[in-house]
Structure 1
Amino acid sequence: MDWSNTKTIFIIIFLFLNVFLAYQLMEKQQHSHFSELLHESMQELLQENIEINVSNPEEPITGSPILGSLQSFNEETLHFDRQIQDIEIFGQMLSSQLVSPYPLNRDTIELGVETFLQEYVYRGEQYRFHRFDEEDNVIHLQQLYEGNPISNQEQESHIKLFMNDDFEIQSYQQEYWVISEGERQQEILLPLEAIERLYIEGKIPRDTVIDYVELGYYSLLPSIGQNQVYTPMWKVEVNDTFQLVDAIDGSITSQ
């Protein structure tokens, strides 16, 4: 045995081990320090009479920016019952006219929309109710990625349901984004950490109740052709306004 080479290998192994242990210790210290800061911020929130009705998940959350590409529709990929709707395709936009209007109940709009999506819409399980525009008589739906909404500044909805005066769906327009996940997954901010950022930046006044925090994917930049980059962000409701907290770098944007 060449003892000199063996000793060199052991030295290299121990160096790597020391670096790894040092990194683990640094991570633990940073986490401990942040936990202390978070605890202090939570105490300050209580003193300001700020009520928080959300909690952190038990496990860390990982995420990354995602890339969306508009899908071009074609007859071969669509399998619709032509007896219940007439379909027209305009590149990345699908337009449908229902043969018979689909009735909804104003008291259970979201449930009715969910059923309609399952029966009539291409990949309908990947959309959800967003809002009803009473003035235009249009229901707006958002596309989801892993159960979380995606949105950008250029458009607030990916499906529009056009209603008649009897509150029946008579037609709809749809676009579908094909999502590619980022390669580098990393731990992102937790809900309470996002709220803490807002508090530190003076975005949460006294006597505020916070009970709505949702993770979504948002783009604050114009689309590049048919592509769009979305960043994971926490959407926090503060006194009837919404704040977006970047779940990666903690930056804040008001909606």
Structure 2
Amino acid sequence: MDWNKTKTIFIIVFSILNIFLYSLYVQQLTDAQNVQVISKTSIEEVMKQENITYNLPQVNKNDYSSVTATIKKFTKEELETLVSQSIVIENNTHIESDMNTAIAIQNDKGDFDFNEFMMKYVWHGNEYTLWEVNQEEQQATFFQMVNGEPIFYSPNAMVVVHWNDDYEVTHYEQRMLEKFSTESKKRDLMTQDEAVGSLATRGYLKQDSKVLSVTPGYSSLVPLTEIQVFAPTWNIRVELKDGSIEEHFINAIEGKVIDFQLEKVDEPQLDVDVDVDVDEE
């Protein structure tokens, strides 16, 4: 056998194979780039055709990743620092408080102002942010924050405040998370523009609407276990043609649109309720 001739044939064959594989790689890369261009173009076309207004600055979240937490278990001793209220702790995790003193939540201009109430009368109230004021139901909803961003609609990370016809707080409920841990693994996440574009191309943004804000936050992946897992989530607030407001949420990892349905938290009835009655001195 002529080994030199065989060696030459192998070299030629492998050279041809390398050229073929390289050309295939280049073609796939070009196709991918074309798909991205087409995708971006199609999004812009959809936004234009549907007359959807979107001209917000880009929010960059380089440190955006999943987090875990545990459900806070309250103790009678720590809640004794909260004044002017009678507190019942259900199953160690759920505060129900009735105010003993009228606490106004409107300022001199007639605007709602919950800052003093949250700071003085709610356990670690500064860790929550106001989400919604429902004047018809006479209640306000607050979401707990992690890494400076809200946890959207987690039943275990909310404060709900109720008031009377004189705009004085009558009672509130609270649940809380603690021992937060941030995932060290970095993931490729949807950008703000990609989240808005995804909603537009999938028909979630209605004709003649306007994107008012895009806010980063978190949503539950495993909502009803002791160890909670939260994924980065975009909240897109949209004003419709008739002036009404719609809220959309999209998982920044999976790209799934989230339809929040607040579920009742079923807790094991193992712990005796604890009463804490504290009056302001």
TM-score normalised by structure 1 residue count: 0.73
**Cα distance, 1:72 vs structure 2:** 0.6
User: Which of 248, 251, 260 is the equivalent residue of 1:246?
Assistant: 251
- 1:93 and 1:173 in contact (8 A); partners too: yes
Distance 1:136 1:39 in 2: 43
Distance 2:96 2:144 in 1: 16
* Residues 113-166 of structure 1: CA deviation (Å, up to 9, x unaligned): 12211122211111122223344432222111122221347x397112121231
The letter of the residue matching 1:56 is Q
Distance 1:205 1:63 in 2: 29
For structure 1, the residue ranges without an aligned partner over 5 or more in a row are 1-27
2:94 matched residue in structure 1: 93
Distance 1:173 1:181 in 2: 27
User: Which of 46, 49, 60 is the equivalent residue of 2:48?
Assistant: 46
Which piece of structure 1 moves more, 194-203 or 181-190?
181-190
**1:217-232 matched pairs, under 5 angstroms:** 217-219=218-220, 222-224=223-225, 226-232=226-232
- 2:139 and 2:160 in contact (8 A); partners too: yes
**1:68-217 matched pairs, under 5 angstroms:** 68-78=69-79, 80-82=81-83, 84-90=84-90, 91-105=92-106, 107-109=110-112, 112-152=113-153, 155=155, 158-178=158-178, 179-217=180-218
1:43–1:175 CA distance, 2 compared to 1 (3 A): closer
- 1:140 and 1:157 in contact (8 A); partners too: no
The letter of the residue matching 1:244 is F
Which piece of structure 1 moves more, 135-144 or 189-198?
135-144
- 1:114 and 1:128 in contact (8 A); partners too: no
1:30–1:64 CA distance, 2 compared to 1 (3 A): farther
Q: Secondary structure at the match of 1:118?
A: helix
Distance 1:34 1:230 in 2: 31
Distance 2:122 2:186 in 1: 32
Identity value in percent: 23
Q: Higher Cα Rg: structure 1 or 2?
A: 2
**Cα distance, 1:81 vs structure 2:** 4.9
* Residues 23-62 of structure 1: CA deviation (Å, up to 9, x unaligned): xxxxx999977874565245312354221032213x4533
The letter of the residue matching 1:54 is L
Distance 1:31 1:130 in 2: 40
Aligned length: 223
Distance 2:133 2:117 in 1: 15
Q: Secondary structure at the match of 1:183?
A: coil
Q: Secondary structure at the match of 1:55?
A: coil
- Over aligned residues, Cα RMSD in angstroms? 3.2
1:157–1:163 CA distance, 2 compared to 1 (3 A): farther
**Cα distance, 1:77 vs structure 2:** 3.6
1:156–1:133 CA distance, 2 compared to 1 (3 A): farther
Q: Secondary structure at the match of 1:172?
A: strand
1:6 matched residue in structure 2: none
- 1:63 and 1:187 in contact (8 A); partners too: no
Distance 1:29 1:68 in 2: 43
TM-score normalised by structure 2 residue count: 0.67
